[in-house]
Amino acid sequence: MEFDPGKSRYLIIKLRTTSPHNFSALPQYLPLVHSHYQQRHGLLSLSFTQEGQEDVEKVLKGFVSHFPQADILETSLSPSPAPVGYIKRFSEKLVLHCPENNEPSPEGHMVVRSSLSFGSGFHPTTEICMSLLEEAFSRKEVERVFDLGTGSGILALAAYKLGVKRVLAADIDLKACVEALDNVRCNCAENGIYVVNGSHSSARDGSFDLLLANLTVSTILTIGAHLPPVLKEGGLMILSGFTPEQFPEIEKAVESPRILQKMDREGWAGFLAAVEA
């Protein structure tokens, strides 16, 4: 089933918990239609019906209000109540397929499963990064990429799909690394994408043409100064995971790179920038 934003009917909330029964007492105004708990990984997926953007906001606000301490990993829109069996088209070159069971994927599609980590393809920050990634490739030749906070590996796979020869994909979450590695193998990309359990220190300074960092605001503010040094002279960086209002402090945290393009979508923002010597 190919995802059509105009026809999406389900909001999926993924969260980590060891007590899924705590989320069984949902208010009547939260229209739950599907739930799935992976005990081995402590991951609960909840699917809610929605008819428009107002319903999405209502459900999210209601859920957070009712469960303020919930460790939410990701929220996304899907044409299916189960977070599998869909095709997501970002562009002519970048098409994602999350297969159900052993369903074969169409030739040329990226195969990505994200049951344990961030990176289903539906979050606005992922869409922003995909658009900026293709913009980066239109501006300069990119041979080596550092994908920091790789999650499911979706951005690393997209860079590889666009022709990058070497991608270093790092994440501090070991479960995310395991999932990213599985996705790399599903795409037969082991010779080009290297997955490591670590942070910015996994990258050697001055080694990369492009940095991808779809992270939380707090993470960017904490390690921002360490990001530009990993790039070669004139290298590019793509950052996302913050709101338009937070842009000035994010820009300052990464030492004011030369902004080439800004983008925002559904309350989230990102930018493509060049790092000067």
Banded pLDDT at 117 (limits 50, 70, 90)? low
**232 and 132 share one domain:** yes
Q: Is the pLDDT of residue 144 over 90?
A: yes
Q: Which residues contact 131 (CB under 8 A, 6 or more apart)?
A: 90, 91, 263
SS3 239: strand
Query: What is the span of the domain harbouring residue 196?
Result: 124-274
Question: What stretch of H or E contains 214?
Answer: strand 208-214
Mean pLDDT of 218-231: 96
Banded pLDDT at 43 (limits 50, 70, 90)? confident
C-alpha distances out from residue 5 to 76, 122, 180, 222, Å: 11, 10, 26, 34
For the chain, counts of helices (H) and of strands (E) = 6, 14
Mean pLDDT of 114-141: 85
Mean pLDDT of the chain: 88
Per-residue pLDDT tens for 177-206? Answer: 998 999 999 999 999 999 999 999 999 999
With pLDDT > 90 as the criterion, what percentage of the chain qualifies?
Answer: 59
Locus of tokens 């209502």: 58
CA dihedral 164, 1, 74, 49 (to 10 degrees): 160
Burial class of 71 by CB neighbour count within 10 A (0 to 12, 13 to 18, 19+)? exposed
Banded pLDDT at 242 (limits 50, 70, 90)? very high
| pLDDT higher at 19 or 121 | 19
**136 and 223 share one domain:** yes
Q: Give the tokens for residue 165.
A: 């020869």
Banded pLDDT at 118 (limits 50, 70, 90)? low
What sign does the dihedral 123-128-131-133 (CA atoms) show? negative
Phi, psi torsion values for 71, nearest 5 degrees: -90, 80
DSSP symbol at 2? B
Report the domain count for the chain: 2
The neighbouring-strand residues paired with 13 are: 46, 75
Q: Which residues contact 231 (CB under 8 A, 6 or more apart)?
A: 206, 208, 209, 210, 211, 237, 275
What's the pLDDT score for residue 184?
A: 96
**43 and 130 share one domain:** no
Mean pLDDT of 125-148: 96
Per-residue pLDDT tens for 48-93? Answer: 887 666 778 888 889 999 999 999 887 877 766 765 667 888 999 9
Q: Give the tokens for residue 264.
A: 């925002």
C-alpha distances out from residue 55 to 31, 73, 77, Å: 10, 20, 12
Mean pLDDT check: name the lowest of 72-76, 78-82, 155-159, 247-251: 78-82
Mean pLDDT of 235-254: 96
C-alpha distances out from residue 110 to 99, 121, 165, 212, Å: 10, 11, 16, 18
- Of 118, 76, 98, 75, nearest to 2 by C-alpha is 98
Please say which residue of 78, 103, 132 terminates a domain: 78
Assigned domain for 99 exists = no
| pLDDT higher at 58 or 3 | 58
Instruction: Read off the CATH number of the domain in which 150 is found.
Output: 3.40.50.150
Scored b (16 or more CB within 10 A) or e, 100-111 reads: eeeeebeeebbb
**270 and 137 share one domain:** yes
Assigned domain for 88 exists = no
- pTM, entire model: 0.76
Banded pLDDT at 1 (limits 50, 70, 90)? very low
**52 and 159 share one domain:** no
